[in-house]
Structure 1
């Protein structure tokens, strides 16, 4: 398995870049709606500016939550508890951590076994 810290740092950087891009897109949509006289709320031909704003806002919130989870995983790496299930205390498999580096529980606890 790749070094967990390095993997998480790469994922953190990608998430920061994605969040910045989403924030920029959100700001553009808001600016466009301010500069436009169009009544997009009643335009049957496309999505509304409000919908686009809502969608971009939700994606940005999701990216922020991901960033928070990555930071929590990095903290677990620092304390030596990264590969330990928070529920049962057993090891989390390397395969599970490789697939989902921010997980906090082993597969048994995640599946309710």
Structure 2
């Protein structure tokens, strides 16, 4: 994956994070504006569950965004595609499947 593809991935992730934050704000506002006892509603998920689910997805998006930013930093300093453990090249197939990979396939199993 090249710099341009990583930047596109970053843009997609940032947009997803913004949408999740908007969804979270809507759920919080909805819970503030209602007097319903959703904790005992047998018909669906509770507002607390929905809020927690959105928060979890947002944290995952934040972590992925940080990983993409780190990959872009490696592109900038010339170390992208080089295993951080053994110094060998990371297989292009691995980078295609996991563009933020820091290690080659054999190294994560070590240690």
- Give the gaps of 5 or more residues in structure 2: none
Choose which of 31, 36, 41 in structure 1 pairs with 2:34.
Answer: 36
**Superposition TM-score, scaled by structure 2 size:** 0.96
The gaps in structure 1 that reach 5 residues or longer are: none
Task: Give the corresponding residue for 1:112.
Answer: 110
Residue aligning to 1:92: 90
**Matched residue of 2:106: which SS?**
helix
| Runs of 4+ with deviation above 3 angstroms | none
RMSD of equivalent CA atoms: 1.1
* TM-fit CA distance, 1:110: 2.2
CA-CA distance at 1:92 after TM superposition: 0.2
**TM-score (structure 1 length as normaliser):** 0.94
What is the alpha-carbon distance in structure 2 between the residues aligned to residue 89 and residue 31 of structure 1? Answer: 50
> Aligned-pair distance for 1:111?
3.2
The aligned length equals: 111
**CA distance, structure 1, for counterparts of residue 100 and residue 63 of structure 2:** 11
